[in-house]
Structure 1
Amino acid sequence: MPTIPQAILAKAIQRGPDKSTCPSEIARELFPADWRKHMQEVRDAAIELQQEGKVSITQKGRPVDTENIIGPVRIKMNSP
């Protein structure tokens, strides 16, 4: 089973820089029985990947301040 960061990166690469994924998709794939319990772990991993410059986290198509996330977000590859 892949780690959470590996799963996020794999999904982002699969979707490409023009499409995004919801963190819940990652949680559902990795933890189908109790995915809601793991949502914060997925968000935390996505934030780390953004800080490393590997992905972008957006809300309504715009970059989001990861210190103040309120509501749903999307994860996508950075544009080249």
Structure 2
Amino acid sequence: MLHLRLITPAGDVVMCDVAREAGDELIHGLRALDLDRTGSIAVGDIGLLGIVRAGALTLLAQKWFWASRRERTAKAGGS
């Protein structure tokens, strides 16, 4: 099983567990939607030790990244 975390450009967080066999097809579909460029895709192996801690750090980093990006966009639009 794989644990997938997706952050959309709007800042929505989507998390799901996916059978390893379906992972490639799912990620390919998300990339076809350009979500790897306009959002964020993170995949972790559920069997890895510390997945919860790593997942929390990943989400915090992604939240910071998108907040910074929105702030830069707002400043650029307001000048």
Relative to the length of structure 2, the TM-score reads 0.31
Give 1 or 2: higher helix fraction. Answer: 2
Higher relative contact order by CA 8 Å / sep ≥ 6: 1 or 2? 1
- Larger Rg belongs to: 2
Relative to the length of structure 1, the TM-score reads 0.31
